[in-house]
Amino acid sequence: MAGRKSELVIVDDDATIRRLLAYHGERAGFEVVLAEDGEMGLGLISDRTEVLVLDLRMPGMDGFACLEHLAEKWPKIPVVVLSSVDDPSDVVRAMKLGAIDYITKPFDPDELIAVLLNARRLSRAERENEELREAIGGGGAKVEMVAASSQMQQVFEQAKKVANIDSTVLITGESGVGKGVLARTIHSHGDRSEKPFVPVSCPAIPRELLESELFGHEKGAFTGATKRRIGKIEAAQGGTLFLDEIGDLPLDLQPKLLSVLQDREFQRVGGETTLTADVRIIAATNIDFEQQIEEGSFRSDLYYRLSVIPFELPPLRERSEEIEPLCAELLKKIAQRQKSKARLSKGALRLLQTYDWPGNIRQLENVLERASAFCSEGVIEEKDLPTEITREGDQSDLTLKGLGGVSLAKLEKEALIQTLELCGGNKAEAARRLGVTEKSVYNKLKRHNL
């Protein structure tokens, strides 16, 4: 759903009610689709639909008939029923048919929005669980890393050695370097491989939902918490919890995670029962912890608890010998999605091996997928590669003439500006290209008032 609003389908035969519901649905951040009867509403449901609001009493196909149809065709879409008849028997019947909540007309707008947001949380959790079931459906299948370089062979051997140890693992490295693959490798080679591997992307979940996502919540813990919710820690019981981009964990949640690591216990939001966290925790980040600790945005005690077993993955540019086997694996993966095979010409492979790869393996996969889609006769040629790769050698044409008499401060400022523009504002990549630390880049930005 990234990049667009989630979809809310509203089915009600009253045009005024439809408009009111649409207004409040848009306030809650939904893209709203309207239907005036049950048959039309069912026809508007798609894979994008996250929540359905359904009037129970309508001419033709009423809400109850719609619920029966939904139970067969779209059982995972949360349905909120709406009726002008405050009849307990309607509530019971609707709930038995699969509705998750019930609101009577006239409705309270704040209550409606809270119910819609809760329904969206449930919808997304169900989709994440479905993806998780697909990801671990092969129960126990081992994940193997591409390890052609001496650095990665050493990482792979160490990963197998620590797989059966429950100590917390911290994986560091640039974005797209394969931290998630290493985490799955460790999980799949250990005693917990038959249990769930539950990934959590800390920056992808809104701050106000992250605590509930991790720890779960009890009914009534906050507005919209209409039932108990199991969090990711409980979902991973017996298995592995993978906290991706742990450096983005809000400061106020860090003590709660620290408590889990120290005591292996936690409580749901709004709960009083202490639960045991039987999970192996693997965390990953691309941030500079030393700088974050110094700035006070990350707790040093949590960092030490996370980095019991540290792994640092080298960037792809430092292991160019892995480009060829990586391309072979990635092209197999792409072929399964595109239903067509592609291979690299010698010239295209040579260009890929000499490129700098600021986006690492993720960028390589994107390049190969794009090139596979446009290549002729299943062969990726040099012309099929993007211009940033084919023009990599252009920097060698730069001249240093005409710099005499220019102050070093001005040169430094201009080099900083141009390098940041070249790297799209990525300070870590700019630091690498300038041959300085990322902290130095921040200091220079401050010094030059940039």
pLDDT of residue 331: 93
User: Does one domain contain both 183 and 291?
Assistant: yes
Helix (H) or strand (E) holding 180: helix 179-188
Category of 119 on φ-ψ map: left (φ > 0), alpha (ψ -120 to 50) or beta: alpha
User: Does one domain contain both 171 and 308?
Assistant: yes
User: Does one domain contain both 385 and 435?
Assistant: no
Write the DSSP symbol of residue 226: -
User: Does one domain contain both 121 and 255?
Assistant: no
380 lies in a domain?
yes
439 lies in a domain?
yes
Task: Show the tokens assigned to 431.
Answer: 């630091």
Number of domains in the chain: 4
User: Does one domain contain both 18 and 122?
Assistant: yes
153 lies in a domain?
no
Domain boundary among 276, 297, 312: 312
pLDDT of residue 310: 95
User: Does one domain contain both 328 and 275?
Assistant: no
pLDDT of residue 163: 93
User: What distance in Å separates the CA atoms of residue 311 and residue 326, rounded to the nearest whole number?
Assistant: 20
pLDDT of residue 6: 59
Per-residue pLDDT of the chain (450 residues; tens, 9 = 90+): 333 455 899 999 989 999 999 999 888 888 899 999 988 988 888 878 889 999 988 888 888 999 888 887 788 888 998 877 666 677 778 877 888 888 877 888 888 888 888 888 777 776 665 555 444 443 445 666 788 888 899 999 999 999 999 999 999 998 889 999 999 999 999 999 888 899 998 887 877 788 888 998 888 887 767 778 888 998 899 999 999 999 999 999 999 999 999 999 999 988 888 999 999 999 999 988 888 999 999 999 999 999 999 999 999 988 888 999 999 999 998 888 777 789 999 999 999 988 888 889 988 988 998 898 888 888 999 999 988 888 754 443 444 555 666 667 777 888 888 888 777 778 888 888 887 777 778 878 877 778
> Domain of 433?
407-447
349 lies in a domain?
yes
295: Cβ contacts below 8 Å, ≥ 6 apart: none
CATH number for 264: 3.40.50.300
CATH number for 354: 1.10.8.60
370 lies in a domain?
yes
CA 195 to centroid of chain Cα atoms: 21
Strand partners, 8: 32, 51
User: What distance in Å separates the CA atoms of residue 259 and residue 277, rounded to the nearest whole number?
Assistant: 10
pLDDT of residue 162: 94
User: Does one domain contain both 269 and 355?
Assistant: no
143 lies in a domain?
no
User: Does one domain contain both 200 and 276?
Assistant: yes
331: Cβ contacts below 8 Å, ≥ 6 apart: 341, 342, 343, 344, 368, 372
- The residue behind tokens 């041959």 is 435
Q: Judging by beta carbons within 10 Å of its beta carbon (0-12, 13-18, 19+), is residue 295 exposed, middle or buried?
A: exposed
User: Does one domain contain both 359 and 222?
Assistant: no
Q: Cis omega before residue 255 (within 30°)?
A: no
408: helix, strand or coil: helix
Domain boundary among 312, 344, 372: 312
pLDDT of residue 207: 77
User: Does one domain contain both 299 and 336?
Assistant: no
CATH number for 442: 1.10.10.60
User: 241 vs 140, 154, 253, 318, 389, CA distance in Å?
Assistant: 16, 24, 16, 29, 37
User: Does one domain contain both 373 and 298?
Assistant: no
CATH number for 20: 3.40.50.2300
